[in-house]
């Protein structure tokens, strides 16, 4: 297996984190931003699980560029919200109750939050805080799924990592991305937004999935 891998993502923050985790082992990532700067390749994330979406992304990239590819999908599941936003984490702010209940039928309900020009991460966090207002149950967990496929789109390996914790009632810290300023990993008084990058890398859902992924890559290279 080559140490140059296609990663089927355009998310610059996610790519930076993946590169930081893979670089010490000698692996380099080529992103869709670099391979398809005009954005011609559109990938519809229609999966009902993180694993399904990771495979959809990897297969689309592999078939488009005729090379093995890695797909990644991740998000936050909130226990008192019935598991939402889950696979809809990136677009939570703009989804209706009906859309969310299509997958998370125990979702209690909420209103879309749309404001032109504002960062989607911020809108997602604003909606999440509003829907948890007054709730004593703040349990949540991050999930990351990784999938490796060959150039024809055949699945070679899939894995996932999780980290459980709780959500605070306010933003804390300017690091990380997504819901990191609200998420306290288990046994930590600090959010992922407050923790130094190296501390987050040591415990994150993405690093846990990547450790299993790297173990697989090391095995096939023997």
pLDDT score at 92: 98
pLDDT score at 1: 59
Predicted model pTM: 0.92
Q: How many CA atoms lie within 13 A of 123 on its CB side?
A: 17
Residue 73: active-site member: yes
List the catalytic residue out of 36, 73, 121, 169.
Answer: 73
What architecture does CATH give domain 4-220?
Answer: Alpha-Beta Complex (3.90)
pLDDT score at 22: 81
pLDDT values of the chain reduced to their tens digit, one per residue, 222 residues: 567 789 999 888 788 888 888 888 888 888 999 999 888 899 999 999 999 999 999 999 999 999 999 999 999 999 999 999 999 999 999 999 999 999 999 999 999 998 888 899 999 999 999 999 999 999 999 999 999 999 999 999 999 999 999 999 999 999 989 999 999 999 899 999 999 988 998 899 999 999 999 899 888 876
The token pair at 64 is 């488009």
59 φ/ψ sector (left φ>0, alpha ψ -120 to 50, else beta):
alpha
Of 191, 160, 159, the C-alpha closest to 178 is 191
Sign of CA dihedral 55, 145, 214, 29: positive
């Amino acid at each position: 297996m080559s140490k140059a891998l296609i990663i089927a993502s355009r998310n610059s923050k996610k790519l930076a984190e993946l590169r930081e985790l893979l670089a010490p082992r000698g692996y380099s990532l080529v992103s869709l931003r670099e391979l398809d700067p005009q954005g011609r390749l559109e990938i519809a994330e229609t999966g009902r699980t993180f694993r399904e979406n990771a495979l959809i992304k990897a297969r689309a990239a592999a078939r488009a560029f005729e090379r093995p590819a890695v797909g990644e999908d991740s998000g936050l599941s909130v226990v008192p919200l019935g598991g939402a936003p889950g696979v809809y984490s990136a677009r939570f702010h703009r989804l209706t109750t009906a859309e969310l209940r299509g997958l998370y039928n125990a979702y209690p309900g909420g209103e879309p939050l749309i404001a032109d020009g504002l960062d989607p991460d911020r809108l997602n966090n604003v909606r999440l805080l509003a829907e948890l207002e007054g709730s004593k149950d703040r349990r949540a967990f991050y999930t990351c799924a990784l999938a490796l496929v060959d150039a024809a789109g055949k699945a070679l390996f899939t894995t996932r990592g999780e980290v459980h914790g709780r959500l605070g009632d306010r933003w804390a810290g300017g690091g990380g991305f997504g819901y990191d300023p609200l998420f306290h990993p288990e046994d930590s008084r600090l959010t992922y937004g407050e923790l130094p990058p190296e501390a987050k890398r040591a415990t994150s859902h993405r690093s846990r999935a990547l450790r299993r992924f790297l173990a697989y890559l090391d095995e096939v290279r023997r």
